[in-house]
Amino acid sequence: MINIFKKITVIARSSVKFIVLAILSIFFILAAIAYFYNPTYAVSLNGEVIGYTENKSALQEKINKYISSNEEENVAFVQVDAMPTYKLCLLKKDVEINDDKIFSKITDNGTKYYKYYAVTDNKKEKVYVASFKEAEDIISQLKKKDSANIKDLGIVEKYDTSLKEFTSVKTSVSKLYEEKQVYVTTYASASASNYSSGRSSAKVDLGITLARPISGVITSRFGSNDSVRSHSHSGLDISAPRGTPIKAAAAGTVTFSGNAGDGYGYYVVIAHGNGVQTVYAHCSQVIAKKGQQVSQGEVIAKVGSTGNSTGNHLHLEVRKNGITYNPQYYVY
């Protein structure tokens, strides 16, 4: 009996030693792993590992925030082609962990959708602004000006992968107002009956200084009659060789450029703000485009003899609020 007890004691002591050694071994193994490795997550995109992160929750939250509420101006949201997957692993401590690089790789594959607003005239998009308030301000100011096209104006919310060029409220109001006036004022020259009601021999303050569009000889003055026309002249004719550059008399926005079939041939209309316009007619070539911002002295067209014309010259008109005034009061 004593021998059996001794044997049990020996076995127990051996077992304890073994257990202690096993525990110590596990401890040293775990210590070695903790010393050389970090528990981390392998981040994969489309099945390819793109990096490692220690905090997948924080990284995913950052990605979700970027997609749903991008902080970049005018970006409504971002559509990411693929979302990352995470797998727990042990990573050597000398391997770089960089959440910013992972974030960049994921978001670089995304498509940004921009949000902005278009102000429309007769359902055609005319100008673009960043906010709904700006669009409302444009229409509100046009109402105050009693613009002829106010009933045709509208606002459209836009989402697109490319951002349009924005126009300031002031420029937009001027552009939309003046553009419509081109069609409702009296320089539809083919209609001779409209001429007398749209001219004035008075001199008004334009609020700007005009420069000579070309140098040349005046061949027909404002208000004159001749064998070519059955009505008094609504502008000033300056003779010059075909192809002579025509320069903008003042800075402004081109509201028409082309041939409307109204007797002016090829011509350009520039709006200078405050209802002031200049018209350059019978051109051989128009250079400035509709909607283009031009500077004083910038070449906008070339002298010609298109439309109702008997020789190469520039027909110049100066208008304010739809009424033509004698250009010689301001140039020549």
pLDDT digits (tens, 9 = 90+) for 144-178: 765 455 667 788 878 787 778 888 888 888 877 77
Share of the chain above pLDDT 90, in %: 25
Helices and strands, number each (H, E), in the chain:
5, 18
pLDDT class for 49, splitting at 50, 70, 90? confident
Q: Is 295 exposed, middle or buried (0-12, 13-18, 19+ CB in 10 A)?
A: exposed
301: enclosing H helix or E strand: strand 299-303
Model pLDDT, residue 6:
59
pLDDT class for 227, splitting at 50, 70, 90? very low
Give one DSSP letter per residue of 151-184, joined into a string: GGEEEEEEEESSPPPP--HHHHHHHHHHHHHHHH
More confident residue, 113 or 81: 113
The mean per-residue pLDDT over the stretch 71-100 comes to: 75
Lowest-confidence segment of 92-101, 153-162, 233-242 by average pLDDT: 92-101
Model pLDDT, residue 63:
81
Model pLDDT, residue 268:
95
* Mean pLDDT over each residue of the chain, to the nearest integer: 78
Assigned CATH topology for domain 192-329:
Glucose Permease (Domain IIA) (2.70.70)
pLDDT class for 214, splitting at 50, 70, 90? very high
pLDDT digits (tens, 9 = 90+) for 10-27: 565 666 666 766 676 676
pLDDT class for 89, splitting at 50, 70, 90? confident
Model pLDDT, residue 99:
83
Residues 1 and 190: their CA atoms lie apart, in Å, by: 135
Residues 258 and 263: their CA atoms lie apart, in Å, by: 12
218: enclosing H helix or E strand: strand 217-220
Report whether 289 contacts 254 (CB < 8 A).
yes
Model pLDDT, residue 114:
80
pLDDT digits (tens, 9 = 90+) for 247-262: 999 999 998 999 887 7
Model pLDDT, residue 283:
96
Q: Can you give the pTM of this predicted structure?
A: 0.43
The mean per-residue pLDDT over the stretch 116-144 comes to: 85
pLDDT class for 202, splitting at 50, 70, 90? confident
- Radius of gyration over every alpha carbon of the chain, rounded to an integer in angstroms: 39
Does residue 57 surpass a pLDDT of 80? yes
Lowest-confidence segment of 19-23, 42-46, 137-141, 240-244 by average pLDDT: 19-23
Report whether 300 contacts 284 (CB < 8 A).
no
Residues 147 and 134: their CA atoms lie apart, in Å, by: 18
More confident residue, 201 or 15: 201
Q: Where are the domains of the chain?
A: 34-108, 114-184, 192-329
More confident residue, 27 or 32: 27
